Structure 1
């Protein structure tokens, strides 16, 4: 786990998507769409000085990871998103 990390994960009880800090009992925020949760997660991590955003699929498994500046990405992408 990095010092500043958030996960975008499905909320099976309420529906929609949560932005959650590892080990936290409460979500940082809740959203109807995964895209909205990802945008808010990036904002939260960026405001805290950068870090990792882990994006889960509907099955709960991590499907993507994003390093938010000024985080240190050990494997930076070659494409320009």
Structure 2
């Protein structure tokens, strides 16, 4: 399983995709939609989680592309 991917606002404007605990962005884009598309591709390839943050930095959406148990336990 790869690193979780986070779509966050970039401090200089635009949006970025960062692997969890990475210091630098993997990808910078001008729109959030572009960043989400790129992050989704990476998360699918790495079988990891995707976290989409809003402009305020809080997580607003989350998708899993890992090996989730089905049906869920619990």
Deviation at 1:4, TM superposition (A): 2.7
Any gaps of 5 or more consecutive residues in structure 2?
none
Distance in 2 of aligned mates of 1:73 and 1:38: 21
Deviation at 1:73, TM superposition (A): 4.1
Please give the secondary structure, in 1, of the residue aligned with 2:55. Answer: coil
Residue matched to 2:5: 6
Does the alignment pair 1:72 with 2:67? yes
Residue matched to 1:28: 26
Please identify runs of 4+ aligned residues in structure 1 that moved more than 3 A: none
Residue matched to 2:15: 17
Return the TM-score normalized by structure 1: 0.76
Return the TM-score normalized by structure 2: 0.83
Higher relative contact order (CA 8 A, sep 6+): 2
1:42-57 to 2 correspondences below 5 Å: 42-48=40-46, 50-57=47-54
Report the number of matched residues: 71
Residue matched to 1:79: none
